[in-house]
């Protein structure tokens, strides 16, 4: 909690942290309208999975170029430009008049979000180096807080009855606050990074961690994308509750990220991953009851589990024996985003050919695989 107080007490740290919140305010507002977009464009679950795949593809496509752009223009400027780009791109999916234009809109939205994501993480890293102050974990907590704000916005669905207006209000909030604070970080330039050769022999110990990252981040993205559809079509929840599963997921995700570092110091990273997996498994069991109240509670429990799981995987990856920390973290990030990339079309196919409930059965099964994998992690030297 000390890092949270640091952020709230100093504009130099609040500015970058609000960028984290901004990204999820925009993405979360899109997420709560996924059921409405699906209905208005008359697309099925499989087609929806393909459109969400294009969003993930947009995120993934920017990775090879982001570092060059950041180093050329400066990490502060690119973070600010990323906020502007993401804000305008957020409007496109809700304005898309057809299935194919939705795919294009989500690709652009994903690319701008991916670029902003890389920029803002690099920005916080540089500030931490310069100021010798740690607030990265709490900044990720602000990302989750942005999701909470977006989830609370779901209660505006009925009164506004206008998705484009709703997103416009979210964009207005994001831009106004960033306009106040962007000068605190816009001039910051990243220090040059010395690249080291990657040995294939050192790659092997990361494979298990990569598989866990792939499953965990893919599952996390699946809940964001499909929780609203599940409550609508499987739990037959009233419209006012379609976004509440996402809200509960983001609330507990935020709480877990603000408290996770302190718990990790006591339990250790591997036990934290195991604990997070157990919570996620219990959450999926509640979701599969189909009961609306229990399903919402299950999504919230999943949020608490994944909140501690993903950061700890990065922490373990950065401390694998014989592997440079930056290489370990980069590999786990890549496999995790690959999970985001692959999960939507796979789950869309399962939802269309079987049922959405089967999708969450599969997510439960792969969560149990993570729990088994933690036993192997425990046996490996750090």
**DSSP string for residues in 243-290:** THHHHHHHHHHHHHHHHHHHHHHHH-HHHHHHHHHHHHHHHHHHHTT-
Separation between Cα atoms, residue 114 and residue 236, nearest integer Å: 34
- Do 21 and 65 lie in one domain? The reply is yes
Q: 3-state class of 189 per DSSP?
A: coil
- The percentage of residues in the chain with a pLDDT greater than 70, rounded to a whole number, is 87
Contact 349, 49 (CB under 8 A): yes
Taking each helix axis from N to C terminus, what angle separates 244-267 and 292-317, rounded to the nearest 10 degrees?
40
For residues 2-9, average pLDDT: 79
Separation between Cα atoms, residue 16 and residue 158, nearest integer Å: 33
Residue 295 maps to a domain: yes
Q: Which domain holds residue 23?
A: 1-189
pLDDT at 333: 67
- Name the domain boundary from 133, 166, 189: 189
Q: Output the six-digit token pair for 40.
A: 């208005």
pLDDT at 326: 45
Residue 38 maps to a domain: yes
- Do 222 and 330 lie in one domain? The reply is yes
- Do 146 and 226 lie in one domain? The reply is no
The rounded Cα 327 to chain-centroid distance in angstroms is: 21
For residues 58-79, average pLDDT: 83
Residue 197 maps to a domain: no
Cβ neighbours for 302, distance < 8 A, ≥ 6 positions apart: 219, 223, 249, 279, 280, 283, 284, 287
- Do 82 and 173 lie in one domain? The reply is yes
CATH number at residue 12: 1.20.1250.20
Q: Is the dihedral of CA 356, 357, 363, 369 positive or negative?
A: negative
Q: Output the six-digit token pair for 259.
A: 């408290």
Residue 95 maps to a domain: yes
Residue 2 maps to a domain: yes
pLDDT of residue 380 exceeding 60, the answer is no
Q: Output the six-digit token pair for 47.
A: 């087609």
- Do 175 and 214 lie in one domain? The reply is no
pTM summary value: 0.73
Separation between Cα atoms, residue 15 and residue 262, nearest integer Å: 24
Mean pLDDT for the chain overall = 83
Separation between Cα atoms, residue 221 and residue 215, nearest integer Å: 10
- Name the domain boundary from 189, 216, 233: 189
pLDDT of residue 324 exceeding 70, the answer is no
* Rg of the chain taking only CA atoms, in angstroms: 20
Name the pLDDT band for 325 (thresholds 50, 70, 90).
very low
Separation between Cα atoms, residue 48 and residue 37, nearest integer Å: 9
- Name the domain boundary from 164, 189, 214: 189
**Local structure of residue 321 (DSSP, 8 states):** T
- Do 6 and 119 lie in one domain? The reply is yes
Residue 194 maps to a domain: no
Residue listed under structure tokens 């209905």: 39
- Do 223 and 175 lie in one domain? The reply is no
- Do 339 and 269 lie in one domain? The reply is yes
Separation between Cα atoms, residue 291 and residue 262, nearest integer Å: 34
Query: How many domains are there within the chain?
Result: 2
- Do 280 and 183 lie in one domain? The reply is no
pLDDT at 320: 66
Residue 5 maps to a domain: yes
- CA-nearest of 185, 203, 148, 212 to 372 is 212
Separation between Cα atoms, residue 130 and residue 138, nearest integer Å: 18
- Do 214 and 171 lie in one domain? The reply is no
Residue 196 maps to a domain: no
- Do 320 and 279 lie in one domain? The reply is yes
- Do 44 and 136 lie in one domain? The reply is yes
Q: How many CB atoms are closer than 10 A to CB 31?
A: 24
Residue-wise pLDDT for 200-220, tens only, equals 555 566 778 888 888 888 888
pLDDT of residue 103 exceeding 90, the answer is yes
Where are the extended beta strands (E) located within 105-244?
A: none
């Amino acid at each position: 909690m000390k890092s949270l107080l640091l952020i709230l007490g100093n504009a130099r740290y609040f500015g970058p942290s609000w960028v984290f919140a901004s990204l999820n305010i925009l993405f979360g507002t899109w997420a709560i309208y996924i059921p409405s977009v699906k209905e208005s464009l008359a697309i099925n679950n499989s087609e929806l999975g393909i459109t969400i795949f294009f969003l993930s593809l947009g995120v993934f496509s920017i990775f090879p170029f982001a570092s060059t752009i950041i180093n050329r223009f400066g990490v502060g400027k690119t973070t600010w430009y990323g906020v502007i780009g993401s804000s305008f791109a957020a409007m496109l999916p809700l304005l898309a008049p057809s299935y194919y234009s939705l795919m294009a809109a989500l690709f652009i939205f994903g690319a701008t979000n991916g670029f902003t994501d890389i920029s803002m993480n690099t920005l916080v890293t540089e500030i931490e180096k310069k100021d010798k102050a740690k607030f990265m974990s709490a900044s990720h907590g602000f990302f989750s807080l942005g999701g909470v704000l977006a989830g609370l916005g779901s209660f505006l669905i009925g009164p506004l009855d206008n998705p484009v207006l709703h997103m416009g209000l979210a964009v207005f909030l994001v831009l106004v606050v960033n306009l106040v604070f962007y000068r605190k970080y816009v001039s910051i330039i990243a220090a040059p990074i010395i690249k080291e050769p990657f040995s294939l022999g050192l790659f092997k110990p990361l494979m298990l961690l990569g598989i866990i990252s792939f499953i965990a981040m893919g599952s996390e993205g699946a809940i964001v994308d499909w929780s609203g559809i599940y409550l609508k079509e499987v739990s037959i929840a009233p419209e006012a509750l379609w976004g509440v599963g996402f809200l509960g997921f983001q609330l507990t995700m935020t709480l877990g990220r603000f408290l996770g570092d302190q718990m990790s110091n006591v339990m250790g990273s591997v036990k934290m991953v195991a604990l997070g997996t157990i919570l996620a498994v219990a959450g999926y069991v509640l979701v599969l009851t189909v009961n609306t109240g229990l399903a919402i509670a299950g999504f919230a429990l999943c949020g608490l589990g994944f909140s501690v799981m993903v950061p700890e995987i990065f922490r373990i990856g950065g401390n694998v024996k014989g592997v440079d920390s930056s290489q370990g973290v980069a590999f786990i990030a890549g496999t995790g985003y690959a999970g985001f990339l692959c999960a939507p079309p796979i789950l869309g196919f399962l939802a269309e050919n079987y049922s959405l409930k089967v999708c969450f059965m599969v997510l439960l099964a792969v969560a149990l695989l993570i729990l088994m994998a933690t036993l192997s992690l425990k046996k490996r030297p750090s």
